[in-house]
Amino acid sequence: MRLFDPHVHMTSRTTDDYEAMAAAGVRAIVEPAFWLGQPRTNVGSFVDYFDGLLGWEPFRASQFGIRHFCTIALNPKEANDPGLRRDVLELLPRYLAKDGVVAVGEVGYDSATPEEDEAFAAQLELAKAHRLPVLVHTPHRDKLAGTRRTLDVVREAGIDPADVIVDHNNELTVDVVREHGCWAAFSIYPDTKMDEVRMVRLLQQHGTERMLVNSAADWGRSDALKVAKTARAMLDAGFDEDTVDQVVWRNPVEVFGRSGRLDLDTPADGFDATATFAGNSVLRGERPA
């Protein structure tokens, strides 16, 4: 079964994860810009990071036949640094114009501060200007109230809800997100937020329209194979293959395809023992046949 992970932070993963994902059926991914575990100190760190999302990571993915796309933004956690907020917001248009960038994100709230309000609103305007979808991060604390506040801001910005992916949902938020016409995304984790069993139950209760599942696979304890495991759990629960394909392939293709930049017709390069990026290879010797 073909799989699309629409939110996976491969910068934090090893090459072994790419190999395992490819073996599980992952053929395309979207990597959203996010924080790096500790505060960044200057805008140059963002330049190098964004360049990596558009260069090194697509190369690593291509070595395993996986198409890599990304979203670009100043994330909510780092929007509270006034100097970085100003400099990164000025930098973003340069990157949002690039091929391979299929949305603005992650944007939204971490602690719901006035500084985050400013960055959120500014990046929604950038999404409209560049005609890109928006990937929205909802706060971990007081999830329902934070999600409602997020949706109010999105509505006030005048963005088409069909262009908005609201992520990190749970049982408390799914209804309000779908009532607004947005896409409801769920990060599947080993211990927190959402697991495969709960996700299958939500899909049974709410259907599969405008529903996305992702592994997130960030710096903490996470699992880059959670999309594959959710697909298996759906099949085990009685969903047919076409319905599973809708959730793990057609839905992410539809929403990120609205960017006009989701090129799935051109296959990833696949394994080439001679391929390098800026002189670097993902290999340590040739891979066994």
Q: What would the pLDDT profile of 116-153 be if each residue is shown by its tens digit?
A: 999 999 999 999 999 999 999 988 778 899 999 999 99
Reply yes or no: is the peptide bond before residue 106 cis, omega within 30 of 0.
yes
Instruction: From 197, 154, 158, select the one nearest 176 (Cα to Cα).
Output: 154
How far apart are alpha carbons 282 and 16 in whole angstroms? 10
- What's the pLDDT tens digit per position in 140-197? 778 899 999 999 999 999 999 999 999 999 999 999 999 999 999 999 998 777 999 9
Residue written as tokens 């006035």? 114
How far apart are alpha carbons 17 and 23 in whole angstroms? 10
Q: Which helix (H) or strand (E) holds 27?
A: strand 26-32
Residue written as tokens 């390098």? 276
Contact predicate 269/275, CB 8 Å: yes
Give the SS3 label for residue 108: strand
pLDDT-derived band at 280 (thresholds 50, 70, 90) equals confident
pLDDT-derived band at 283 (thresholds 50, 70, 90) equals confident
CA 124 from centre of chain: 16
How far apart are alpha carbons 31 and 57 in whole angstroms? 9
How far apart are alpha carbons 264 and 56 in whole angstroms? 19
Residue 112 has a pLDDT of: 87
Residue 277 has a pLDDT of: 84
Residue 276 has a pLDDT of: 86
Of 170-184, 216-230, 246-260, 274-288, give the lowest mean pLDDT range. Answer: 274-288
Residue written as tokens 């395992």? 20
Average pLDDT across the chain, whole number: 93
Count CA within 13 A, CB hemisphere, residue 92: 29
Residue 287 has a pLDDT of: 55
User: What residue ranges define each of the domains in the chain, with the CATH number in brackets?
Assistant: 3-257 (3.20.20.140)
- Point out which residues pair with 69 in neighbouring strands: 30
The residues near 266 (Cβ < 8 Å, ≥ 6 apart) are none
